[in-house]
Amino acid sequence: MIELLPPAFILLLGAVLIGPLRGHWRSAMVLGAPLLTLWAVWQVPDGVSLTLPFLGYNIEPLEGSALRRLFATIFALMAFVGGLYAFRQARWYELAAGYAYASGAIGVCFAGDLITLFLFWELMALFSTVIVWCGGTPAARAAGIRYAIMHLLGGVILKVGIEGVAVHTGSVDIQPMLATNFDFWMILIGILINAAAPPLSAWLADAYPESSPTGSVFLSAFTTKTAVLALILLFPGEPVLIWVGIYMIMYGIIYALLENDARRILAYSIVNQVGFMVCAIGIGTELALNGAAAHAFAHIVYKALLFMSAGVVVYRTGKSKCTDLGGLFRTMPLTTICGIIGALSISSFPLTSGFTTKTMISQAAADGGMTAVYFLLAAASAGVFLHAGIKFPWFVFFQKDSGLRPKDAPWNMGAAMVIFAAICLLIGIFPELLYQFLPYQTDYVAYKAGKVVFYLQLLLFSGLAFFLLLPMMKRTLTISLDVDWLWRVAARRVGTLLYNAAGVIGAALEQGALNQVRRLVTFSQRYLGVGKDGASRGTFASAWPIGTTSLWIAVLLSAYVLVYFI
């Protein structure tokens, strides 16, 4: 019966049990639950294996395919290595949230229908917010709230699209679609928000670097890559994605070049790398989709590795700004080497995983005759080496001597980094290990002499450019404005302006009303009031002598009698 229990629930159960368990039992649960999940992932057969009626729709919480198992595998593996990295340092609730978050990602992998996809999607949004909050600082709390608002908004947009599709087509099946009408556009936008696509890319670099050293490792893996999987399943070959992807690639490079915070540099390079995948999905050929899937797999490994090495630095020194760091290679050799392997992999250096996966995407662009896309991808490969491949290790581990002499990584963090560094090299040297699990059969050959020479020239001369342009890249104590400036500052300024304007108008109205009342008071005092001395009285308040009064009464009565008789 366990074969029919969706793997996501195994990990979710593990997440629930982390809290009540203590000591070694908890450690065993942290390390065991992802491995059991990994085993369960490989028991999921192709096709739909579970159908349940839900609100009048048949939902399919468990549908298997090569692509879905590939993503679920790397998510489970990521949970295991992330757990190993974190279990002695992170608080139990951060671990539990991390596993619940990972179970959401695995649930999305096997979702056979849009309703299941949405439920697990929101599970991820919920627990990733908790992980941001686990950063524990006021900045982390504020960033977490902004993060949650963005993802709840994305969820609402996605839900609108799903409702529309369900009502208009009568089916909630996950199947390839194109952005041709309002419903499909809403689904596409909802997914793209999670992929950190423009114009809403800022949430990623805003929130991830505020989390704890261990939390950022979990955050780097799941949200954007489930979005990539959802795009492969729902929008393969959607042409708009090509240019969305190219924009993300360039955005990531430029912002990472301007950035001073080491973990924020890595966060921007997530957007950059996801851009490669989104672009590949837009190209949409079998080779391109293979490339997107393979690159997502390799990316999760080397990006987590990079965040782990940065995490060790933050854990040991409490600093993450390039201006505060430097020269750490002296006392942190393991972290330095693992960071460099991650950096070379993200730069798609030959013999690392990035080379064997990213070149598939470039090849797909070349095969499709997309000249501009091909050359932009090549330029971006050079740019990745520039902004992440050299910049990150250089400014953190080399550069100047910051005087810091921290200890190297604790054993569990070191072990986690070694495992992922080994996978980076393994996929780089024996790419067939990964290629056999790709969604489409492929005879792609990664290593051809000419291609290796081309990429070596491209990358090494980018390296030369980095060191020659180093004076232009001096780190400054700055941040860079992004689109979120519009609501973090501009909207507030407009709000303040409106508030002040309303205040001025209100004050004017109040003053006017006050003046009217004063006039009324003066008027009534003049005719009805009594002066302070009691002698001077208003016209209608003065006392009349009895003689005058009786005379007037006599005059009035006479006038009345006269009028009566006439």
Partner 1 sequence: MNPNRDDDSWLARPSSIRLLWRIFWAVLALTVAAHLFIDVKGYFGVDEWYGFGAAFGFLSCLIMVIVAKGLGLLLKRNQDYYQEQDHD
**Cβ at position 454, least distance to partner 1 in Å:** 4
- Taking CB under 8 A as the rule, which mask of x and - marks residues 401-440 in contact with partner 1? x---------------------------------------
Say if CB 260 and CB 322 are below 8 A apart.
Answer: yes
Q: Does 329 bind partner 1 (CB under 8 A)?
A: yes
Q: Does 472 bind partner 1 (CB under 8 A)?
A: yes
261: phi then psi, degrees, rounded to nearest 5: -80, 125
Q: Does 461 bind partner 1 (CB under 8 A)?
A: yes
Whether the ω angle into residue 199 lies within 30 degrees of 0, i.e. cis, is yes
Return the residue of 457, 515, 536, 542 that touches partner 1, per CB under 8 A.
Answer: 457
Q: Does 466 bind partner 1 (CB under 8 A)?
A: yes
Size of the site for partner 1 (CB under 8 A): 50
Q: Does 198 bind partner 1 (CB under 8 A)?
A: no
CA distance linking residue 31 with residue 19, whole number of Å: 14
Cα→Cα distances 250→227, 247, 253, 275, 363, Å: 19, 5, 5, 9, 19
Cβ atoms within 10 A of the Cβ of 10, count? 22
Return the residue of 479, 498, 554, 555 that touches partner 1, per CB under 8 A.
Answer: 479
Q: Does 337 bind partner 1 (CB under 8 A)?
A: no
Q: Does 473 bind partner 1 (CB under 8 A)?
A: yes
Phi-psi group of 408: left, alpha or beta (phi > 0 → left; psi -120 to 50 → alpha; rest → beta): beta
Q: Does 28 bind partner 1 (CB under 8 A)?
A: no
Return the residue of 28, 156, 481, 505 that touches partner 1, per CB under 8 A.
Answer: 481
Say if CB 207 and CB 53 are below 8 A apart.
Answer: no
Beta carbons within 8 Å of 524's beta carbon, 6+ residues apart: 538
Q: Which residues pair with residue 46 across a beta bridge?
A: 64
To the nearest 10 degrees (0 to 180), the angle between helices 286-317 and 411-429 is: 160
Which of the stretches 129-137, 228-236, 303-311, 466-474 binds partner 1 when contact is defined by CB under 8 A?
Answer: 466-474
Of the pair 152, 254, the CB lying nearest partner 1 is at: 254
Cα→Cα distances 36→12, 30, 50, 340, Å: 12, 11, 20, 31
Return the residue of 171, 436, 478, 549 that touches partner 1, per CB under 8 A.
Answer: 478
Which of the stretches 180-188, 207-215, 220-228, 449-457 binds partner 1 when contact is defined by CB under 8 A?
Answer: 449-457
Phi-psi group of 50: left, alpha or beta (phi > 0 → left; psi -120 to 50 → alpha; rest → beta): beta
Reading the block at residue 415, the tokens are: 């072990």
Which of the stretches 84-92, 419-427, 462-470, 556-564 binds partner 1 when contact is defined by CB under 8 A?
Answer: 462-470
CA distance linking residue 115 with residue 161, whole number of Å: 11
Q: Does 328 bind partner 1 (CB under 8 A)?
A: no
> Which parts of 42-71 interact with partner 1 (CB under 8 A)?
none
Reading the block at residue 15, the tokens are: 């997440």
Which of the stretches 39-47, 127-135, 152-160, 488-496 binds partner 1 when contact is defined by CB under 8 A?
Answer: 488-496
Query: Nearest CA to 422 among 338, 317, 543, 524?
Result: 338
> Which parts of 365-394 interact with partner 1 (CB under 8 A)?
366, 371, 374-375, 378-379, 382-383, 386
Which of the stretches 17-25, 58-66, 68-76, 480-488 binds partner 1 when contact is defined by CB under 8 A?
Answer: 480-488
**Cβ at position 418, least distance to partner 1 in Å:** 22
CA distance linking residue 159 with residue 186, whole number of Å: 8
Reading the block at residue 544, the tokens are: 């009349």
Binding site for partner 1 (CB under 8 A): 253-254, 257-258, 260, 327, 329-330, 366, 371, 374-375, 378-379, 382-383, 386, 398, 401, 448-451, 453-466, 469, 472-473, 476-482, 488-489, 492
